[in-house]
Amino acid sequence: MRSNISAFLSGLLFAIGLGVGGMTDPANVLGFLDIAGDWDFRLMFVMGGAIAVHAALRPLIHQREEPLFAAKFPSFSASRLDPKLLVGAALFGVGWGLGGYCPGPALTALATGASRLLVFVPAMFAGMFLAQVLQARRGASTAR
């Protein structure tokens, strides 16, 4: 129960931050991505603020033996660049650039009822589902 409350409060804080930072307005996002035209640098401060909070708190959090709201810290394998990561990042970037929304801000802005979002969000979930199906199919074929 504590982990659900923590997840809800974290998501709420994230959504409020996206709204205050202007990330729910695709014009701001597209302005940030338009480095060759009329570049809007303001979202750099939103990302910089998130990185600064993470950089300051991560060492403090990892001094603990276990997290507050979970049984253990997640473990990640060694990082490496592989084709799957590069293709996924490219698809994410193209979708973000064409749609003007990152997944988090799209879900937050869905509350506005904008017709673009009523198309974008289901398409985003369809893409996530398709990626999982393809990954599971690929995993099943390599396991044989």
Boundaries of domain holding 29: 1-142
Distance CA 144, CA 136 (A): 13
Question: Is the pLDDT confidence value at 1 over 80?
Answer: no
Average pLDDT over residues 46-50: 88
What separation in angstroms does the CA of 12 have from each of 9, 42, 74, 86, 134? 5, 22, 22, 30, 32
Give the CA radius of gyration of the chain: 18
CA-based nearest residue to 30, from 116, 113, 112: 116
The domain tally of the chain equals: 1
Q: What pTM was computed for the model?
A: 0.61
Average pLDDT of the chain is: 84
At residue 144, does pLDDT exceed 60?
no
Model confidence pLDDT, tens digit, residues 70-115: 788 888 776 778 888 888 889 888 888 888 888 888 888 888 888 8
